Amino acid sequence: MKTHLDPARIGAILDSLRGGRVVVVGDAMLDVFVFGQVSRISPEAPVPVVRVTKETERLGGAANVALNVTSLGGRATLVGVVGDDLASKRLSRVTRDCGVAARLVSIAGRPTTVKTRVMAHQHQMVRTDREASDPIEPAVEAKLLAQIARVLKKGSALIVSDYQKGVVTRPFMRAVIDLAETRGARVLVDPKVRNIGFFRGAFMVTPNQKEAEQISGILIRTDEDAERVVRRVAQLAGTEGALVTRGEEGMSLGLRKGRSFRYWHVRSAAREVFDVTGAGDTAIATLALALVAGAEPYEAMVISNLAAGVAVGKLGTSSVTVAEIRAGQ
């Protein structure tokens, strides 16, 4: 069904976001943006020469999800891995500056994930990645699980942010989901396609349209197609439901109801799409926080859609505030 919320109800949910507790587990990253200007081609090779004018560091991956929780007034704890390197110290500093509580396990010999984007005249010229994607060892899984156990409280939510950098493994997810069940915390997952079978028992997965089509083997052209995809994704994931983010078409949600599914759709709230980087992080962070605040799942989808509409109007990985959501209604 098409979903519409009264502005008063939207306002009430937004008012309730403050103070909600969300634990974010997954692949934490540091996003570096190097800004500059291009006025000539290099004499060494046919490539533009970027004269650097500014450099910024932002939270990326699971860390950006946690940032979005915090920017909406929630209380976020980030659990993940870093290397024993300078980048880990930079990532820790940025999390502190952003008000994100970080419980990061350091692994000797493993680089902290850093994505560096070189930007000129509002265009990305090149991106460099420093990362390792091999699965974490059982000893590291145990340390991460201990950190989660210390901070996951009844009534909170747990987000798994899978960027396929090694933190999300089948045994670790089994342990995380079992722990969340004992604490009465819902688990929401932003999954990668090849790991979709790792999340049985979680509340919901939130793939984007391309990922959902790859998982289900079904192309989305209509809302009816989206409903078939949502159901198939939830079945393959072993979750209570699934939410598919569909870009300019909005979002589609399906939840189990006995032997059947119930579906909801909402159209995109974006006024102008500038950059989709990090929009999925914003969407799942808002969704989880709204659920913690007591919103029904379809209501949380509407709030999440509004937040994502704000996020795509910004450059690079970004966070969204309640004031910006209100202004964008």
Return the number of other C-beta atoms located less than 10 Å from residue 233's C-beta. Answer: 27
Tokens of 35: 């800004």
* Predicted TM-score of the model (pTM): 0.93
Task: Say if residue 274's pLDDT is above 60.
Answer: no
Task: Say if residue 272's pLDDT is above 60.
Answer: no
139 contact partners, CB below 8 Å, separation of at least 6: none
For 138-191, how does the pLDDT look when each residue is reduced to its tens digit (9 = 90+)? 999 999 999 999 999 999 999 999 999 999 999 999 999 999 999 999 999 999
In angstroms, the CA 189 to CA 236 distance is 13
Grade residue 311 by pLDDT with cuts at 50, 70 and 90. Answer: confident
Tokens of 164: 């396929």
Give the CB-side neighbour count of residue 129, counting CA atoms within 13 A.
Answer: 8
Task: Say if residue 275's pLDDT is above 60.
Answer: no
Please, are residues 290 and 305 in contact by the beta-carbon 8 Å criterion?
A: no
Tokens of 329: 């209604």
Report angle CA 131, 164, 182 to the nearest 5 degrees: 125
Strands (E) in the chain, as ranges, are: 21-26, 28-41, 48-61, 75-83, 101-107, 114-120, 123-130, 157-161, 186-190, 204-205, 241-245, 251-257, 260-266
DSSP-based three-state secondary structure for 300: helix
pLDDT for position 277:
54
Task: Share the mean pLDDT of the chain.
Answer: 93
DSSP-based three-state secondary structure for 107: strand
Q: What is the dihedral of CA 291, 294, 300, 306, to 10 degrees?
A: -110
Q: 241-245 and 75-83 as β-strands: parallel, antiparallel, unpaired?
A: unpaired
Across-strand partners of 262?
255
Residues shown for the chain: 329
Of 278, 288, 280, 271, the C-alpha closest to 325 is 271
pLDDT for position 318:
67
Grade residue 1 by pLDDT with cuts at 50, 70 and 90. Answer: low
Arithmetic mean of pLDDT, 246-250: 88
Helix/strand/coil percent split, the chain, to 5: 40, 30, 30
Arithmetic mean of pLDDT, 117-141: 95
Arithmetic mean of pLDDT, 90-108: 96
pLDDT for position 319:
81
In angstroms, the CA 22 to CA 75 distance is 6
Task: Say if residue 64's pLDDT is above 80.
Answer: yes
Arithmetic mean of pLDDT, 300-320: 82
- Tokens 């119930």 correspond to 262
The class level of CATH for 7-29+59-111+132-328 reads alpha beta
244 contact partners, CB below 8 Å, separation of at least 6: 206, 207, 208, 209, 212, 220, 226, 229, 230, 233, 251, 252, 253
Of 97, 92, 93, 113, the C-alpha closest to 161 is 113
Q: What is the dihedral of CA 133, 134, 136, 138, to 10 degrees?
A: 160
Identify the active-site residue in 27, 31, 162, 281.
Answer: 281
Break the chain into its structural domains and give their ranges: 7-29+59-111+132-328
Task: Say if residue 329's pLDDT is above 70.
Answer: no
Task: Say if residue 321's pLDDT is above 70.
Answer: yes
Annotation says 281 is catalytic: yes
Grade residue 4 by pLDDT with cuts at 50, 70 and 90. Answer: confident
